[in-house]
A and B are shown apart, each in its own frame.
With several copies, the nearest count.
Chain A
Amino acid sequence: MFDETSTILAHEDIGGGYRHLVLRSPQVASAVAPGQFVHIKVPSLEQSALRRPFSVFNAEDGVVEVLYKTVGRGTAALGKSQVDDKVQVLGPLGRGFPLACRGKALLVGGGYGVAPLYFLARTLGAEKCILFVGGRTAGDLLALDRFAALGVDVRIATNDGSRGVQGFVTAPLDEEVNRLRAAGEEFEFFTCGPDGLLKAVADRALALGAPGWISADRHMICGVGACYACIQKTVRGNARCCIDGPVFSAKELVW
């Protein structure tokens, strides 16, 4: 774990209320694994403000990328930082996804939940992965170009049908699962996104007896396991999302 003084290399509004933040953070970049996150001190917030946790979207060549949605005062303030500004980045933090997968890796993401899945796909290898991504409308779908460039097979569902099939992302997911089962192929689930989606994926993993890797968001104070603020209930009791997670096995989770 490093608390690295990082420099903003790029910081762009990518539409839909999302921004793409690119940081020069060589220490964090070389140590981070898919599913891990960083805890960022937002420069313009007051000294006592807590840090904000974000999944690592990509890490390569000393550079860490984050995709984030502006939802409150911290992300709004972060959005005002500019190229060349310095940002304290604490990381890598948490337990990420397993980096081996038996059979197909079914990546299921919603919103900024696709961020860690991109880094995962790059690590597992595009050919092993299918990304299932959902959103209300086409504008909610993030980083499709990056997944495409990797060569990942992408299946899209939008509530309004503006892109991909109309409806929930579980529809194309279930279709693929049925296909794989019919073909006798193995698969694992990897998911990050809103709680409803996580639950839907976890239920399928349990029902099908397939491994399910669920990345959960919990409000955090320290991000390193020191404060016990970020509790996720598990079969073994109260776990800390920041250090025992954020990725949990579907079998461990208690909803």
Chain B
Amino acid sequence: MVIDTRVNLGGLEMSTPLATASGTFGYGTEYAGAVDYSCLGAITAKGVRLDPWPGNAMPRHVEVPGGLVNAIGLQGPGIDAFLAHHVDEYERLFPGGPKMIVNIWGGTVEEYAEVASRLEAAGRKSIAAIECNVSCPNVKAGGHTFGHDTAVLGRLVAGVRAATRLPLIVKLAPNVGSIAPFAQTCADNGADAISLINTIPAMAIDIEKRVPVLANKTGGLSGRGIHPAAVKLVYDAHRAVKLPVLAMGGVYEARDAVEFMLAGASAVALGSAIFSDPGVVRKVYDGMLEYCSRHGFSAVSDLTGALAD
């Protein structure tokens, strides 16, 4: 059986259901040689903002059972250098390669909107969608509050929507009592899709030195251990709104990706797993196809929400 691997994520046409998660895959070029790009329908660039941003002090991460806690703090070169340098290099290395989702952030609605409109105005071939990060736990002045107040979120989504016609994905915070109102706010304000989940706020303490391990004190938990929490949020979001969901959080095996699809995701992003094993991209892709043929799905997109009851 030939399986149709194409999925449509709110207008973003992906050749496969797999993407990479923002911040775990640089600007798309760094893993050349180790990751099989033919399995990816999209890559997501690291968070981009208007101006250059230094990120947090070191240490920026710590390994924990089941994953890692990071507080990179969104270091980035700003939109101009991103377009001039990183997008150029990506298009040079992967001329017909996976589409690029650009993850954006800022301190104000205006900043977000400005980045979005500059991305569209740039008219770059690879740039196919915008992911609006309203949920990074590592930047105090940044997106954090946007993700926890539906009124503020609504204004942000509407503002960015007005600034671009590119498919607009909103990346929501996982630490909410119920995801439904946030998903609904995205739908109501013109988002094309939502992505879930960002890292879960977390912390590690060096008990010998009696200080937080991270210079930023707290960070975000990603990796294997967060997967069951992510599945729940994707499931809830899928049932709450019609928007397609890009699911991420602790995908290490094909079964994790299939689980996300069945819970309601339209596409799945790999993040921390790539750090441990760049080969995971190929393995997850192959395993998803194997699952589809074994269960008689002729299109991967048919997995979305396909629970038996």
Contact = CB atoms under 8 A, between A and B. Distances in A.
- Indicate yes or no for A touching B, C-beta below 8 A: yes
A227 interface: yes
B224 A224 contact: no
A209 B26 CA distance: 36
Contacts of B223: 48
B181 interface: no
Contact of B68 (A46, A47, A88, A221): A221
B34 A48 contact: no
A179 interface: no
Interface in A70-104: 88, 90
B54 A218 contact: no
Contacts, number: 97
Nearest to B250: A48
B60 interface: yes
Nearest to A93: B34
Contact of A228 (B31, B34, B75, B275): B75
B224 A47 contact: yes
Given A219-B59, A226-B25, A229-B61, A48 B30 contact: no
Given A226-B25, A227-B24, A237-B54, A50 B33 contact: no
Given A221-B70, A226-B26, A227-B26, A48 B58 contact: no
B30 A224 contact: yes
Given A227-B24, A229-B72, A48 B66 contact: yes
Contacts of A225: 26, 30
Contacts of B252: 47-48
A3 B276 CA distance: 11
A219 B33 CA distance: 23
A231 B63 CA distance: 16
Contact of A238 (B24, B26, B30, B54): B54
Contacts of A238: 54-55, 75
A3 B278 contact: yes
Given A226-B30, A228-B46, A221 B61 contact: yes
Given A1-B33, A48-B252, A221-B68, A228 B279 contact: no
A204 interface: no
Nearest to B76: A228
A237 B275 CA distance: 24
Interface residues of A, number: 26
Contacts of B190: none
Contact of B276 (A1, A49, A218, A237): A49
Contacts of A124: none
A143 interface: no
Interface string A22-58: 0000000000000000000100001111110000000
A1 B33 CA distance: 5
Nearest to B278: A3
Interface in A216-255: 218-219, 221-222, 224-229, 231, 237-238, 243
B60 A224 contact: no
Given A221-B70, A226-B24, A227-B24, A47 B30 contact: no
Given A2-B33, A3-B34, A221-B68, A50 B63 contact: yes
Interface residues of B, number: 37
Task: Name, among A41, A49, A51, A226, the residue most crowded by chain B CB atoms within 10 Å (CB to CB).
Answer: A226
Nearest to B215: A231
B107 interface: no
Interface string B20-35: 0001111000111110
A194 B87 CA distance: 37
A90 B31 CA distance: 10
B30 A3 contact: no
Contacts of A46: 65-66, 224
A103 B279 CA distance: 44
Contact of A88 (B23, B46, B75, B277): B277
B30 A218 contact: no
B67 interface: yes
B75 A41 contact: no
Contact of A48 (B59, B72, B224): B224
A219 B34 contact: no
B272 interface: yes
Contacts of B101: none
Given A48-B65, A50-B276, A226 B55 contact: no
Given A48-B252, A48-B276, A226-B26, A231 B55 contact: yes
Contact of B63 (A1, A49, A224): A49
Given A48-B225, A227-B24, A228-B55, A222 B277 contact: no
A90 B68 contact: no
26 contacts: A2-B33, A2-B34, A3-B278, A3-B279, A41-B276, A41-B277, A47-B224, A47-B276, A48-B66, A48-B252, A48-B272, A50-B63, A50-B276, A90-B278, A222-B24, A222-B30, A222-B31, A222-B275, A225-B30, A226-B46, A227-B23, A227-B26, A228-B46, A229-B70, A231-B60, A238-B75
